[in-house]
Amino acid sequence: MDPFARKMVFGSFAYGSMILVMFAVLTVVYLHMRPKCSDRLVGESTDPGSQWTASVMERRCGAEAPFLTHVNVRPATQDLKIGFFSGSAAEGEIFLVEQDAADAAITLRWTGPATLTIQCSRCTAALVQKHDERLGNVAVRYDLPSR
């Protein structure tokens, strides 16, 4: 093969490879900066012993999707962990209701060093999707409307 043709072929592969790498990097940056879902922190409460923090957050995954309000519990020394691509905080999620935060009106109350009471007097019982009774050594109690 002609040396000039060899350089042209090599240059074409190098250029194509750089375009693919740039595309991949820009895709990762775009997906991180504009996630499909995003959580908005509505409120937080730390237990009296400063061991645990409970957070109320609101999530929406698209313009036509319903609002989801959820409660996450984490050690007080840790920051809230948001998914790199998802934009949502799924770790430590103990309560999930398909209502926006204003309609749900969730109140968090620590009744002991590791006992959390979640009051959601305006939650529609049929829309509650998750309500765990325990996370680690934290006991969770619920004050929900009768079904």
The pTM of the full predicted model, rounded to 2 decimals, is 0.76
The backbone region for 81, taken as left when phi is positive above 0, alpha when psi lies in -120 to 50, beta otherwise, is beta
What pLDDT shows up at residue 72?
Answer: 95
Give bridge partners of residue 124 from the DSSP assignment: none
Cα 125 to chain centroid, rounded: 22
CB of 99 closer than 8 Å to CB of 127? yes
Summarize pLDDT for 79-95 with one digit per residue, the tens.
888 888 777 888 899 99
In this structure, which amino acid lies at residue 127?
A: L
Residue 98: how many CB atoms within 10 A of its CB? 16
Place of tokens 């959820």: 70
Summarize pLDDT for 96-146 with one digit per residue, the tens.
999 888 888 899 999 988 899 999 888 877 888 898 999 988 999 998 886
